[in-house]
Amino acid sequence: MPAERDREPAPRASAGRIPPARGTGAGRRLANLWRLRRYLRPYAVQFAWLLVAALTATAAGLAVPLVVQRVVDGPVARQEPGGLLRLGALVLLLGLVEAALIFIRRWMQAESSIGMETALRADLYAHLLRLPTSFHDRWHSGQLLSRAVSDLSVLRRFLSFGLFFLVLNLVTYAAVVVLLVRLHRPLGLLVAASAVPLFLISRRFARHYHAASRRMQDQQGDVATLVEETALGLRTMKAYGRGPQLSARFGAGARALHDIGIGKARLLARTSAQFDLVPNLTLGGVLVAGTVLVADGRLTVGALVAFVSLQLMLIWPVQSLGWIIANGQEAATAADRIQEVLDTRPTIVDAPGAIGLRRTEVRGRLVFDRVSFRYPQSAAPVLREVELTVEPGETLALVGATGCGKSTLLSLVPRLHEVTGGRITLDGHDLRELRLATLRRLVGVAFEEPTLFSMSVWENLTLGRPEADEAEVRAALVLAQAEFAYDLPWGLATRVGEQGLSLSGGQRQRLALARAVLGRPALLVLDDPLSALDVHTEALVERALRRVLRDTTALLVVHRPSTVALADRVALLERGRITAVGTHSELLATVPAYRALLSAEPTPTPASAPTRASTPVSASTSTPTSVPASTPTAGRSVGATPTAGRGLVSS
């Protein structure tokens, strides 16, 4: 199984992107944004109140110039201080009401937008967990990370501010234009006509800005992937002195991000200037024409002051249009990117009518019935018509050259991948007929690369069985020779670092083993469980494992003769097929390829290999049997060459 830590960064960061599932264009983006409305639904009433508060505040603001008109044309023109005081108090009151409503709006706004973001993030995360391993093989984690973090923040900003101000500003614009037309029809229509260039500028800007924001958000994902891979593979990078090359690669990614960001900012700056220009030109026109009208006595001074004051109230809504459109485009892109993930259907799910089994009902007979498997991106299958039976309570070791498909075979048991041909049965039930939750409770798994999460030792151990009690955890730790966990600074409450890096490889492996055996699962699937242990610990764990394996059906991938000794029987996997099954000594005596793998002997060429039986074997047969291994190497991209054993001792 490919190592999960210390891996080299993928050669092309953008390879993790998946193109949008359906069509392209503004329509789809807006549709994707619209599909997120259900997250706003719980806050619909709150949102309506927000809008009412904001519109009332705007109305209070709009009333002020009209009151000023009365002041200028009334008390000021007639020089009546009494009337001035009354109208002044009214302006003050309107100002206070506006300020109070703006405060209330902002206060309530945060709650709904953050609540929406939290709910969407939780759904996205749950969906990521439901998606099959093959999805995560294809997607770079940085792309997922940027969707779960920055795209969601963009959406929150839009739903809390952008969308809100879009509605508010449009209403304000329309209300002001109506008031202006009522104050003076020709001048009001002049202001209304300025909406035409604004619309044209907006349309062009939206088109260009979308392309830039998609590039930016994708590039952010690529840069996140680079950072994440560097952090995970730091030791390898340092050991190989690859710092300068990595810095150069990161620098190129960061520079691309910078350039796209600058391009976006310049586009916004240019458009904002155009947005600024339109209302200011209109204002200039209104001032000139208004002054002429006042001089001709066709407009009062108060009406001109009110007109200009109202028109000034349009400046902010128009100026902010650039920002709102930019925010809207980013949000539509973010919605698009998030829907790309949410629209990917989980393929490994419970079948209709899937059944649950209790641990006590399971004997543990595991049968691979002509099982084939091909990775989605590979042309050739990794496993071909595998026939294998593991009897209840039996331990079967799987042996084979690097890259022949051992880990892949193991991953089919907990259905991390789905067989592409044949079936696997447990006590006669096709695994696909069992509920996934049931299956994963019945199967204890430890991978070759033991992954521990950045949580306490206890939480790591009880990952699959949160209800496990202290006695069960202790028993599992004893079995896995992992009692060292009690000596950690806070015992089992000690948080192990990210991926458990604060522990040694052997310690992590023993904890992973304890996690697998916790609760005595019906089936144990262990991928080279003793590979990182020193000889002394290996002997202790082996002894402990022997006890666990006594009453559990187990399938182990092993590379060393010492671990093979744990198994009742051994199956040899060659080029995706089971070619021999028998006891260790039987295979050693009769199968040269097996002997070569578990000793320092060179691997026999097909010509020198003895003749083999031509029918597939069942592991339940008691004598060693063989099947042809003549098919070409299947579905390998790396590590396909068989080697003469891996860290082996001579048997």
Ligand X SMILES: Nc1ncnc2c1ncn2[C@@H]1O[C@H](COP(=O)(O)OP(=O)(O)OP(=O)(O)O)[C@@H](O)[C@H]1O
Binding residues for ligand X, rule: CB under 6 A, are: 1-2, 137, 375, 377-378, 382, 400, 402-408, 448, 635-640
Pick between residue 450 and residue 635 the one whose CB is nearest to ligand X.
635
List the strands of the sheet with 383-390, edge to edge: 383-390, 366-373, 421-426, 429-430
Pick between residue 476 and residue 597 the one whose CB is nearest to ligand X.
597
Rounded CA-CA distance 450/464 in Å is 15
Minimum CB separation of residue 12 from ligand X in Å reads 16
Pick between residue 402 and residue 603 the one whose CB is nearest to ligand X.
402
Phi-psi region of 385 (alpha: psi -120 to 50; beta: other; left: phi over 0): left
Minimum CB separation of residue 578 from ligand X in Å reads 13
- 572: DSSP letter: E
Rounded CA-CA distance 643/646 in Å is 7
Residue 397 pairs with which residues in a beta bridge?
Answer: 556, 570
Mutual angle of helices 185-193 and 195-232, in 10-degree steps: 30
Pick between residue 163 and residue 371 the one whose CB is nearest to ligand X.
371
Residues 6 or more apart whose Cβ sits within 8 Å of residue 590? 580, 582, 610, 624
Minimum CB separation of residue 510 from ligand X in Å reads 20
Pick between residue 377 and residue 585 the one whose CB is nearest to ligand X.
377
DSSP characters for 587-620? HHHH-HHHHHHTSSSPPPPTTTSPP--SS---TT
| Planar angle of CA 642, 132, 389, nearest 5 degrees | 55
Pick between residue 104 and residue 640 the one whose CB is nearest to ligand X.
640
Minimum CB separation of residue 166 from ligand X in Å reads 44
Residue 425 pairs with which residues in a beta bridge?
Answer: 367, 430
Minimum CB separation of residue 218 from ligand X in Å reads 23
Residues in the chain, total = 651
Give Cα separations from 477 to 454, 493, 545 (angstroms): 19, 14, 11
Pick between residue 9 and residue 61 the one whose CB is nearest to ligand X.
9
Minimum CB separation of residue 628 from ligand X in Å reads 19
Q: How many CA atoms lie within 13 A of 618 on its CB side?
A: 10
Pick between residue 136 and residue 550 the one whose CB is nearest to ligand X.
136
Helix (H, G, I), strand (E, B) or coil at 388: strand
Pick between residue 113 and residue 408 the one whose CB is nearest to ligand X.
408
Q: How many CA atoms lie within 13 A of 545 on its CB side?
A: 29
| Range list of H helices, 131-242 | 133-138, 141-146, 152-157, 163-183, 185-193, 195-232, 234-239
Rounded CA-CA distance 320/202 in Å is 11
Pick between residue 522 and residue 596 the one whose CB is nearest to ligand X.
596
Do the bridges between strand 553-557 and strand 383-390 make them parallel or antiparallel, or are there none, so unpaired? unpaired
3-class secondary structure per residue, 492-557 = HHCECCHHHCCCCHHHHHHHHHHHHHCCCCCEEEEECCCCCCCHHHHHHHHHHHHHHHHCCEEEEE
Pick between residue 414 and residue 635 the one whose CB is nearest to ligand X.
635
Tokens 């997922």 belong to which residue? 144
Give Cα separations from 230 to 143, 223, 258, 517 (angstroms): 15, 11, 20, 33
Minimum CB separation of residue 416 from ligand X in Å reads 10
Pick between residue 293 and residue 580 the one whose CB is nearest to ligand X.
580
Minimum CB separation of residue 205 from ligand X in Å reads 43
Minimum CB separation of residue 646 from ligand X in Å reads 7
